[in-house]
Each structure stands twice: as structure tokens, then as C-alpha cells.
């Protein structure tokens, strides 16, 4: 049976089940990314190659606690810890980075963003200090802020490329292999898998412009954008799905933010980390190189996101680059427009947030104007409108 016959059979089956000829209108699923999503797929126009990871198995990163030293291999550090041996350490504190000198058997990564978005500059002194250290990856490009502020997926990736280009222009193409990208993974399960994959495509494309063939080192963490104060159990389910997206998409390191909003207990900290452990040891999804490769749907949206991201990157470059557009307030406004539109969808119930705008439906307590500022990139949770 040919592909077209199979497709026709699928179409007829769907028409029969929905009792209408007009299946595409009924099954059309809108999204704010501007991505064209079909109701079903029987092929992919442009299959993507296998998209590798830098790490063989995704690092499962825990907040440091001495009780975890024997069992955990990767830690997020906010303060100095003596005698850590043979661990992978993600340094999350600028002052701490200045004092750390790695031993031979340690692997250190910097998660400190060298871009100062508020003062609209790259912290040159910090870059030089970090580059002088014997870290596996010295310079962090942070776009988790942009996701939590409401940027679209293609905006996050376009901005990541633009920030990378700014660094290359100042410090040379050799910095490409010293970068680590900190991203936040939201709740749009398949789109977030495609985001990780699309970033590998566009980053590799950028590296080829400098006669290199690099893939990005991706540190993924759970988003705060879709979490709610009154909704701990739902937050936990949401972040589990986000972690799964990142693993299947092919992140190199994974970190689960505390599912309790604004407060943290030893128990919630332990559960947040154990989400990753269950996924890795019971579902074994952290070892695949590119687990969703071959899915028609994910391949299709990966390509669309990659194209839109690259287009935005080129626009930013042609207009003077990331910092220049920050100075003009254009980047802030682009993110603001997207975030406000998204918040309206939450208010209208087009984006469903269980326990906030559905089961039960809470009253709106803060306006969009109170939550967002067109001149500032700041993290806003959807649920803040109702809290």
C-alpha cells in the first residue's frame, strides 16, 4: 500500500469517527509560537539527522547536601564545599566561582550569566576571570530568564544565538566550545522536546559559519512560568513532564527547581531531585542520544522552530545585535508582547492550568498591566494573576 493510500485511509477513518468531512477545522490546534501543527502526519519533508549530546548520559543535578555525597554525581553549588572529589559541579554563584580551583578529577561548569541584562552589557572582567579557570565549560549563556519572562520558544533560541554571536565578536570563535546554555523547559511537552533539538540544529549551523562543527552543551531546568502557589501536587506533575521533555530532547544536564513556589523544605528538595532519579533509573530516558528522532510530528516542529529561530537571529544581527536591541528596548518589547498574549490565553482559559483557571477556576486578582512591564525582562508566573 502506498503512502498516499495509507494517508487517505487515515483521513477517511478520522472523518467517520468525527462524523464530518471538515476534519481539519475541528482538529486544528492553535499555538502562540506561530507553528503550523497538523492533526496527523504520515511523513516528514525534511528528516533531521541524529542530533547528538555532548554528555553520553544526561547529568542528574542535585542541590548540594552532604547526605547525597555518596550517591549523587552532579551538584549545583551556591556556596563553597570542601573536599568534593570526582564530582561534576555546576557553579551557580559569582563569588564562589572566583574562589574555586578545580582538582584534576573534578569537572566544573559555570552557570553564571556574563550578560548583565539590567545594565545592558557583558561583564568583561567576569568573562576573563572565568576563561582563566580550568572549567569544562566556562561561560554560561542564560535564556532561562527569557522563558520564565514569557518569550516564545523561537525567541528564546534566536536570543541564545544572538548572545553567542556577541561573545564570539569580542572573544573569538574559540569561545564556542567553552559555552554552556542554561534553558528553562516549559509545559508544552512535544514543543519543548523540539526546542532542545532545534537549538542543536541552529547552534551547529552558527558554528559552521566559523568552520567549526560544534553542538551546544545544554543545561535544562524546570520552568517556574506554569507553577502555582496553591497547587503543589500539580506543580510536581508539571515539572516531571518538563524533565521528561528535556531528557528525551537530549539535554546534557538536568535540574529540577523546587516544586513548592517561594518556599523550600528538605522534603520538597528531596522529592524534586528524586523526580529525575525515577525518570532516569526506572524509565531510562536519560541515556538516549536523540530519543524523539523519527517522530513525524516532532521532526516537523523541530524544523519549523529552527527556521523561525534562525530568522529572528538574522533580524537581530542585521539590526545591530542583542545588546543594541536591548538598549533600544526592542528585545524587552518583543518578549512583553508575547508574554502578554500568553497571559490573555491563560485568563481566557485557552491555556489550561488545572487548579488555577480550571478545576477550580480562581478569580483574577491582578491585571496584565500590574504583572508585566514592556521595558523589563522579568520572570512572571501565569498563576500570579489569580493569587
Summarised one tens digit per residue, pLDDT across range 341-360 is 999 999 999 999 999 999 99
Q: What are the grid coordinates assigned to 48, written together?
A: 533531521
Residue predicted with more confidence, 322 or 2: 322
CB 340 within 8 A of CB 368: yes
109: helix, coil or strand? Answer: strand
What are the tens digits of pLDDT across the range 38-64? 887 888 888 998 999 999 999 999 999
- Give the pLDDT of residue 3: 61
pLDDT above 90: residue 271? yes
Q: How confident is the model at residue 214 (pLDDT cuts 50, 70, 90)?
A: very high
Percentage, residues of the chain above pLDDT 70: 98
CA 201 – CA 298 distance, rounded (Å): 14
Mean local confidence (pLDDT), 236-259: 96
pLDDT tens sequence across 101-121: 777 677 999 999 999 988 999
- Pairing, β 74-77 against β 88-91: parallel
> Cα dist. 364→149, 218, 260, 344, 354 in Å?
19, 36, 21, 11, 15
Q: Which of 18-27, 155-164, 267-276 has the highest mean pLDDT?
A: 155-164
Q: Can you give the pLDDT at residue 210?
A: 97
Output the pLDDT for position 2. 59
- Pairing outcome for strands 121-122 and 115-116: antiparallel
300 pLDDT above the threshold of 70: yes
Average pLDDT, the chain: 93
In the prediction, which pLDDT does 5 show? 65
Contacts of residue 246, Cβ cutoff 8 Å, sequence gap at least 6: 58, 185, 192, 196, 220, 254
Q: Quick one: cell of 285?
A: 530516558
pLDDT at 15 over 90: no
pTM of the predicted structure, to 2 decimals: 0.95
Residue 4 pLDDT exceeds 70: no
Answer whether residue 285 shows pLDDT above 90: no
The alpha carbons of the chain give a radius of gyration, in whole angstroms, of 21
pLDDT above 90 for 322:
yes
pLDDT band at residue 81 using 50, 70 and 90 as cut-offs: confident
Which of 175-179, 232-236, 260-264 shows the lowest per-residue confidence on average (mean pLDDT)?
260-264
Q: How far is CA 204 from CA 161, 217, 218, 297, in A?
A: 10, 11, 13, 22
Quick one: pLDDT band at residue 289, thresholds 50, 70, 90? confident
Reading the block at residue 365, the C-alpha cell is 486578582
Q: What is the structure's pLDDT at 284?
A: 86
pLDDT bracket for residue 24 (50, 70, 90): confident
- Arithmetic mean of pLDDT, 79-96: 88
| Cβ–Cβ < 8 Å for 126, 95 | no
Amino acid at each position: 500500500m502506498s503512502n498516499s493510500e495509507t494517508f487517505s485511509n487515515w483521513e477517511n477513518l478520522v472523518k467517520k469517527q468525527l462524523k464530518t468531512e471538515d476534519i481539519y477545522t475541528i482538529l486544528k490546534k492553535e499555538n502562540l509560537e506561530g507553528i503550523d501543527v497538523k492533526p496527523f502526519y504520515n511523513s516528514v519533508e525534511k528528516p533531521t539527522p541524529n542530533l547528538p549530546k555532548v554528555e553520553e548520559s544526561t547529568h542528574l543535578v542535585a542541590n548540594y547536601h552532604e547526605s547525597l555525597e555518596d550517591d549523587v554525581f552532579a551538584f549545583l553549588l551556591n556556596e563553597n564545599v570542601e573536599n568534593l572529589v570526582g564530582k561534576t559541579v555546576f557553579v551557580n554563584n559569582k563569588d564562589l566561582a572566583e574562589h574555586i580551583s578545580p582538582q584534576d578529577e573534578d569537572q566544573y561548569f559555570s552557570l553564571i550569566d556574563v550578560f548583565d541584562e539590567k545594565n545592558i552589557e557583558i561583564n568583561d572582567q567576569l568573562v576573563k576571570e572565568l576563561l582563566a579557570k580550568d572549567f569544562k565549560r566556562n561561560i554560561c549563556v542564560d535564556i532561562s530568564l527569557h522563558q520564565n519572562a514569557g518569550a516564545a520558544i523561537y525567541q528564546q533560541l534566536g536570543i541564545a544565538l544572538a548572545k553567542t554571536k556577541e561573545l564570539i565578536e569580542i572573544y573569538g570563535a574559540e569561545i564556542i566550545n567553552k559555552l554552556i546554555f542554561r534553558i528553562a523547559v516549559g509545559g508544552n511537552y512535544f514543543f519543548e522536546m523540539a526546542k532542545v533539538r532545534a537549538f542543536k540544529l541552529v547552534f551547529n549551523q552558527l558554528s559552521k559559519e566559523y568552520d567549526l562543527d560544534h553542538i551546544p552543551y545544554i543545561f535544562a531546568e524546570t520552568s517556574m512560568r506554569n507553577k502555582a502557589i496553591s497547587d503543589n501536587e500539580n506543580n510536581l506533575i508539571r515539572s516531571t513532564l518538563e524533565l521528561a521533555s528535556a531528557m528525551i530532547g537530549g539535554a546534557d544536564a538536568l535540574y529540577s527547581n523546587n516544586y513548592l513556589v517561594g518556599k523550600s523544605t528538605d522534603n520538597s528538595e528531596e522529592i524534586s531531585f528524586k523526580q529525575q532519579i525515577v525518570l532516569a533509573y526506572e524509565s531510562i530516558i536519560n541515556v538516549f542520544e536523540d530519543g524523539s528522532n523519527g517522530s513525524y510530528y516532532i521532526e516537523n516542529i523541530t524544523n519549523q522552530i529552527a527556521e523561525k529561530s534562525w530568522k529572528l537571529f538574522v533580524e537581530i544581527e542585521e539590526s545591530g545585535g542583542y545588546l543594541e536591541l536591548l538598549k533600544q528596548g526592542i528585545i524587552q518589547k518583543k518578549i512583553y508582547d508575547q508574554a502578554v498574549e500568553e497571559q490573555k490565553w491563560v485568563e481566557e482559559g485557552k491555556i489550561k492550568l488545572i487548579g488555577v483557571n480550571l478545576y477550580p477556576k480562581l478569580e483574577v486578582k491582578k491585571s496584565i498591566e500590574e504583572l508585566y512591564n514592556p521595558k523589563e525582562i522579568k520572570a512572571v508566573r501565569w498563576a500570579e494573576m489569580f493569587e
